[in-house]
Every structure is written in structure tokens, then in C-alpha cells.
Amino acid sequence: MASPQLQEMVQKMRAAPVLDPSMSVAELRAAYNAVTYPMPPNTTLTPVNVKGVSAEWAVAEGADPTRRVLYFHGGGYVIGNVVTHRDLAAAISHASGCAALNVDYRLGPEHRFPAAVDDAVAAYRWMRANGPDGASPAAATFILGDSAGGGLTLAMMLALRDTGAPLPDAAVTISAWTDLANSGDAIKGRAEADPRLSLEMLESMASNYLGDTDPKTPLASPLYADATGLPPLLMQVGDAEIVLDDTTRFAAKARAAGVDVTEEVWPEMFHVWQHQWAALPEGQEAVDRIGAYLKEHVPATG
């Protein structure tokens, strides 16, 4: 049964939605940037330039700098940045014992597809060779993203695979947006249950990111890609999300292609509830699960 904190939070979301499809991009960004979350203590934040892309290391006290997780924030490829998601990147660092690199990849409509994918690939290549402790190779690499960042996590790995580049040891998606054609049954079936997202908002963000690109282009919508060869994957999604089957459909396709997929559908959870790790017991539980999963996939040494 959902916690009392969850029920109270959902009521607040319905009463004062942050994302309104009638807003301009500038208004959406201002509203999104105004929402703040508490930072976990004992975290070091270090800004870095990654091949021209701004990024920030979030490193929990005691984290291993050679174990690295690349973090891609959500926001429909239109809003969100390092600041809006630094608390979640930091929480992941604490839970996993990894250093988290939070990337400010380029957004639409100013920078449309495939700019975000290009930035993601460049950031991953850079992170393999550079850590928060300087220019040292990584002992373990992971990718994690929420919402659009979850889709970008998958797209980046597909792009790497297609060029024969080394892949991460494992990856995690949170409420991944994998289908920019928005064709899933949950779009309508979960519309009343979802307190955060609407089809109108998803369509607006897809348009701003894609421009004239076909929404079923695999590196824009990984649901339409061949997932063969991807590394182990943890996919978390809430049952009260209109993008629920963006995760369940991709997980089924990936599993059929031989990928080791752990699929978690959390009852009653809304879109990216992990961002509320400080306020919701379910949020902290999900973050702890992610941390445990990454620890389980650190390569054996010796």
C-alpha cells in the first residue's frame, strides 16, 4: 500500500501542476527550474567541461572515483539541466558508491535530434578516461537516466554498439520515454491515474526535439531499435504513468533479443518518483535498489 506521503504529494501535484502544455518553452523552463529538492549531505560537486558540454561530478563521501555512472536528466529533451537533477545524481552516488557525472546535454528546439545523442556519446567516451580524481581510466562504468534521459541512455548505448565501441557494464532507466510516437496503450489507459504527464505535453516536447525527424527513428525512440547486444539493464517505472508501456514494451523486446533485463513496475508510483527520495519512502527505496543493482554489476577484478 502506498505511503501517506505519496497520497499527499499526488494531491499537491494535481492541484498545482508544474508542466502546462500551454506554456512556452521559456515558461516551462522557468517553472521547472523553480522546483528545488534537498541535497544529500557529504556530497562534493565539481563542474567540468566535457568536450564543450557542461557537466558536473556529484561524488558522495567515500565513493570510489574509478566506479562511474553517467547521468542523463529528464525533461522531454526540452527542459531540465544539471541543477534541476543534481540532488538525484548525488543520491545515486550515495546509494551506489559510484561517482556520478551529470551531463547538461543540448536541448530542443534550439538543438534538435541528434544533438542530445551526440553529446551523450561524447560524454561517455570522456568519462571512461576521466574521473573526478583526474585523468584516470574507469574500473566500472554505468549509464542512468530518467524520463527522456532514460530514452537517451538507451539511444546512446545503441549508438555505441553500432560503432563497435565499448559498452557500459550495466545501465538503469527510470520512467524511460522510449516511444516519441506516443503509441502505447497507457497513454490513454493511465491518463486519469498520472498526476504529472499528459499526451499534449509529450507531443509538444517530441515536436520541439524532433522537428521533421520521424518519431520512430531508432536513436530518437529506442523502442523501434534492435536491442541486441545491450548490457544488463534495470528498468524502473510506475504503474500510474502514461509512459508505463514505454518501459514494458522495450523490456520485452530487449529480453527477446537476449538482453539481461530486470523490469520493475512499482504500484501506484508516478513519473520519476525517485526524484522525491527525500520525501517519499518509496523514492528512497527505489534509489537504494538502483544502488544495489550497480554494485552487483561492478566487474570482478583479478
Each of the 302 residues of the chain gets a pLDDT tens digit; together they read 689 999 999 998 888 877 888 899 999 999 999 999 999 999 999 999 998 999 999 999 999 999 999 999 999 999 999 999 999 999 999 999 999 999 999 999 999 999 999 999 999 999 999 999 888 899 999 999 999 999 999 999 999 999 999 999 999 999 999 999 999 999 999 999 999 999 999 999 999 999 999 999 999 999 999 999 999 999 999 999 999 999 999 999 999 999 999 999 999 999 999 999 999 999 999 999 999 999 999 998 74
Q: Which three cell numbers stand for residue 44?
A: 562534493
pTM more than 0.85: yes
Name the one residue in this structure whose C-alpha cell is 542530445.
116
Give the C-alpha separation, 248 to 289, whole Å. 18
Active-site residues, by number, are 147, 241, 271
Q: Is the CB of residue 194 less than 8 Å from the CB of residue 240?
A: yes
